[in-house]
Chains A and B, each alone.
Chain A
Amino acid sequence: METIKLTRARAHAGLAAMLLGSVAWSGGALAQTVSTTSPNAVTTSTTTTNAATTDAVTANAAARGQNNNSGGASSRSGATDPGVRGGDPGAGGALPGLNDVERQYFDVAKEVFQEVDAGPDGLGPRFNLDSCSGCHSQPTIGGTSPATNPQVAVATLMGAKNVVPPFVTANGPIREARFVRNRDGSPDGGVHGMCVIRGRSDAVGCNIAQPNFAAELARNNVVFRIPTPVFGLGLVENVSDGTLEASLAANAQQKRGLGISGRFNRNGNDGTIARFGWKAQNKSLLLFSGEAYNVEMGITNELFQNERESDPACQFKVTPNDSTPLVSEETASPSASFQSDIDLFAAFMRFSAPPTPASATATPVAQTAPADQTTGTATATTGAATATTGAASGTTTTGAATATSTLMASASADASSVLPAAAGSSSAQSSSAASSGASVTRGGQVFSNVGCQACHTKTLTTEKSPLTGQSNVTIQPFSDFAVHEMGTGLADGVSQGSANGNEFRTAPLWGVGQRIFFLHDGRTKDLYEAIQQHASRGSEANTVINNYNLLSRDDKQSLLVFLRSL
């Protein structure tokens, strides 16, 4: 019996895509129009690096007084982000209940999602990274920006001579850069790839130059996006417009009491609700895939057929670079063998299971170090522990203290307000776990009471699905998938579809406990800081943040613990 290869027998050795959820297209049949409405660009100071937890992006905004929360002053009062939840990622696998055929299809799609592209595959000539999974990898394949930024290494891969711009650092988030305006002042808003293929051994003869990031930074014209996690997105795709509209309307009176409204970013072609990407600018996962393949990796496809950089000396594959195979590629899934890359990228997202939260009463969960205020290094366990052990209540810490990637509950300032610690430690953990469970429960109440759930809507229900066992599934994405005015502090000045430069989609919070970088530009690793950044002039979230800042220290902390349990 012939053994069927899992990975497709492709002419190009490896393929992938990086789905930062982006692009500036105008007049395309599928993509929505992008324009720039306000020059609220943020820039990155070269004197500040990503070593800071809240990086230069925020520093720049603060310097402009955008986050001057007068009359609603933030008081940390000892509340501390417990840090990235460790242990089993609880994500990255297939949806439960799929049949064998569907499971095989998912497995092949996941392999393709991890393939690395090169010149012969059509990579570039401008790109941000060379694989989907390179960007979508935290806490596992399909996630978001990892602790170590692969953009630094890819900049000089295969002889390339790219200069890494200051907004991309080894321990910072993966970032795509957008220019707010063109040189003539007209709206830009599009992605400008960090790298070019010039100098690579697989791109001989190509001599295009990198964008002049220094000049654009100097004129405050650069904004950033980080990758969005793609877990469970097939379920989101399968929520009807009617369900989303009903959900948005269901708590309308509560929202009004908080200064919140929200609206959907509707597709310009058929008027239905777009729901993927930082501004909900993408209607479907297939569109999301096709756009990212071209914009982030420079690989044209059957949705986005034309090269963004048309220099013939830099083209090393026919256009579109990716197309539907007419001859079987003999994968482990007969269904997948006739699929293009973008079809399989979309399939990976569509068939992937949503993140699994840490149960308030379930098996203890390991934690990595809390976000460090001075180094911003998620792995700085020692520093984090030092910062938080002062008020430890003498709880035994044996066991987990020796693990470099875990942190005992007792290492927190308040053992009752951190997640259960790693398995294998002392008996004190049982009481710690119980109290942590209580803190998660309390944090859930805080989440609802202060008004977070007005936008970060907990549950939605899918409609009938062609996939086995996926009909009428209740999911917990913690998002209304609407766009909201988020104020001058977060504004990027880029309009996409009907979302303006101040509006962003409510970021789904499922899996947030295992993310490292927060907000659309990855400006902070600190969940507390991410909450505070929701408040600025013109933001719908101002009252909710005021409510949070009125809470006791314990309740502030319990919200952070709850969020890290997701």
Chain B
Amino acid sequence: MRTWIYLGVAACLAGLGAVRYGAVPSSYDAAAWQSANPEDGKVADGVFVSDYFDLSYRLPEGWTEGLAGPGPTQFGYYVLGTWAPKHDFVGTVLVVAQDMFFAPESSEAKNVVAEFRQAMSAVDGMTIDSEPAQVSVGGHLGYRIDFSGVGLFRSMIAIEIRCHVLTFNLTSQDPEFLASLVRSLDNLASVRKKTSDSVPECLRDYATSENVVHRVEPDDVGAKAVSIPVRMVVATDGSVKHVHVIRASAAQRRNIEEALRQWKFKSYVRQGRPVEVETGMTFNFKPANM
């Protein structure tokens, strides 16, 4: 089994030539990341920037955003972006994120890749070219698998950032081009200037009666038989600092936000100091007759 180690080196692609990229411009808004949501990333001037994930990536030269994907799902799954060449359609990059709080299956990058490997190996005509192996991409540790079939060569790389597993899914007709595309991921960089900007502690199932000291139920509204995932950031004083209703109708969103802003948690203490917590919970609206 080969281990792919990418140490976050800068792009030195002379001689490879297939994918070129440069430094990422600094456009960081210090306040933005605190209230950002996972789906808020966007491409501007050829650079994908996600304040929530503290991530930037300069697209390969001549590439652009493809068609936007669907909105977030009830399981906290996001299509963050699809990138492809403007001309000469030779490959694509799809970036998705899975919220660890709502993942129906494994919520660790290693397991995600292992399960993905199992799924791919069961596909008729698919070959596993490189078994899952640990890698470092743009300074993030993760796991990579390579596979191919029907003339398409693909790599999937999973890394963990802020309560989510991000996967980069790269596809090309040309294995060499795919390799250069993978290398381009070393261009992943941080958008934050100050490392002192702390990231909330990710805690699954924190919104329980054990930790919630004041709770207000949202009004039940809209479609029945739906599960509404909600991500929230709890401040050091136990108040709800940020609410992100991941998928719901406008009325449901409004009601849930109004209710959650009245919630009060116990302060979460780590190493003797209160810290912010990011957690998730699901509101289940059952059919009226059940």
Residues of A within 8 A of B (CB): 33, 68-73, 75, 249, 251-254, 256-259, 261, 263, 266-271, 442, 444-446, 448-450, 453, 484-485, 487, 497-498, 502, 535-540, 542-543, 546-547, 549-552, 555
Residues of B within 8 A of A (CB): 63-71, 73-75, 77, 79, 82-86, 89-92, 94, 96, 98, 104-105, 112, 115-116, 118-120, 123-126, 149-152, 156, 167, 169, 171-173, 223-226, 286-290
Contact in complex: B66, A498 (CB < 8 Å) = no
> A261's contact among B70, B90, B105, B120, by CB below 8 Å, is which?
B70
Contact in complex: B89, A75 (CB < 8 Å) = yes
CA A550 – CA B223 in complex, angstroms?
39
6 intermolecular pairs with C-beta atoms under 8 Å apart: A259-B79, A448-B124, A498-B226, A542-B66, A547-B92, A547-B152
CA A497 – CA B167 in complex, angstroms?
32
Enumerate chain B residues within 8 angstroms of A446, measured Cβ to Cβ: 150
Contact in complex: B171, A539 (CB < 8 Å) = no
Contact in complex: A72, B287 (CB < 8 Å) = no
Known contacts A444-B124, A449-B123, A550-B91; A70 and B64 CB within 8 A of each other: yes
Enumerate chain B residues within 8 angstroms of A543, measured Cβ to Cβ: 69, 82, 92, 94, 169
Enumerate chain B residues within 8 angstroms of A485, measured Cβ to Cβ: 70-71
Enumerate chain B residues within 8 angstroms of A33, measured Cβ to Cβ: 223
> A498's contact among B77, B79, B149, B225, by CB below 8 Å, is which?
B225
Enumerate chain B residues within 8 angstroms of A552, measured Cβ to Cβ: 151, 173
Enumerate chain B residues within 8 angstroms of A551, measured Cβ to Cβ: 150-152
CA A450 – CA B154 in complex, angstroms?
11
> A256's contact among B96, B151, B287, by CB below 8 Å, is which?
B96
Instruction: Give A546's nearest chain B residue, CB to CB.
Output: B92
Instruction: Give A74's nearest chain B residue, CB to CB.
Output: B89
Contact in complex: A547, B171 (CB < 8 Å) = yes
Known contacts A71-B85, A538-B69, A539-B67; A268 and B225 CB within 8 A of each other: yes
Enumerate chain A residues within 8 angstroms of B74, measured Cβ to Cβ: 263
Contact in complex: A555, B150 (CB < 8 Å) = yes
B177 CB, min distance to chain A CBs, angstroms:
11
A37 CB, min distance to chain B CBs, angstroms:
8
> A550's contact among B68, B169, B172, by CB below 8 Å, is which?
B172
Contact in complex: A253, B71 (CB < 8 Å) = no
Contact in complex: A542, B67 (CB < 8 Å) = yes
Instruction: Give B250's nearest chain A residue, CB to CB.
Output: A37
Contact in complex: A271, B152 (CB < 8 Å) = no
A382 CB, min distance to chain B CBs, angstroms:
34
CA A254 – CA B105 in complex, angstroms?
12
Contact in complex: B156, A257 (CB < 8 Å) = yes
Known contacts A249-B105, A270-B289, A552-B151; A71 and B119 CB within 8 A of each other: no
Enumerate chain B residues within 8 angstroms of A502, measured Cβ to Cβ: 70
Known contacts A259-B79, A270-B287; A73 and B89 CB within 8 A of each other: yes
Enumerate chain B residues within 8 angstroms of A498, measured Cβ to Cβ: 223-226
Known contacts A261-B73, A263-B74, A538-B71; A546 and B150 CB within 8 A of each other: no
Enumerate chain A residues within 8 angstroms of B85, measured Cβ to Cβ: 71
> A72's contact among B70, B92, B98, B123, by CB below 8 Å, is which?
B92
Contact in complex: B82, A256 (CB < 8 Å) = no
CA A540 – CA B186 in complex, angstroms?
27
CA A555 – CA B149 in complex, angstroms?
11
B116 CB, min distance to chain A CBs, angstroms:
4
Contact in complex: B171, A546 (CB < 8 Å) = yes
Contact in complex: B73, A72 (CB < 8 Å) = no
CA A254 – CA B124 in complex, angstroms?
14
Contact in complex: B89, A271 (CB < 8 Å) = no
Contact in complex: A450, B150 (CB < 8 Å) = yes
Known contacts A253-B119, A449-B123; A536 and B92 CB within 8 A of each other: no
Known contacts A73-B89, A259-B94, A261-B75; A449 and B126 CB within 8 A of each other: yes
Instruction: Give B169's nearest chain A residue, CB to CB.
Output: A257
Known contacts A270-B289, A543-B94, A550-B89; A487 and B171 CB within 8 A of each other: no
Enumerate chain B residues within 8 angstroms of A547, measured Cβ to Cβ: 92, 152, 171
Enumerate chain B residues within 8 angstroms of A542, measured Cβ to Cβ: 66-67, 69, 82
> B69's contact among A68, A253, A540, A549, by CB below 8 Å, is which?
A540
Enumerate chain A residues within 8 angstroms of B289, measured Cβ to Cβ: 269-270
Enumerate chain A residues within 8 angstroms of B126, measured Cβ to Cβ: 448-449
Contact in complex: A72, B105 (CB < 8 Å) = no
CA A258 – CA B156 in complex, angstroms?
11
Contact in complex: A487, B120 (CB < 8 Å) = no
> B287's contact among A75, A251, A268, A538, by CB below 8 Å, is which?
A268
CA A325 – CA B94 in complex, angstroms?
59
Enumerate chain A residues within 8 angstroms of B69, measured Cβ to Cβ: 259, 538-540, 542-543
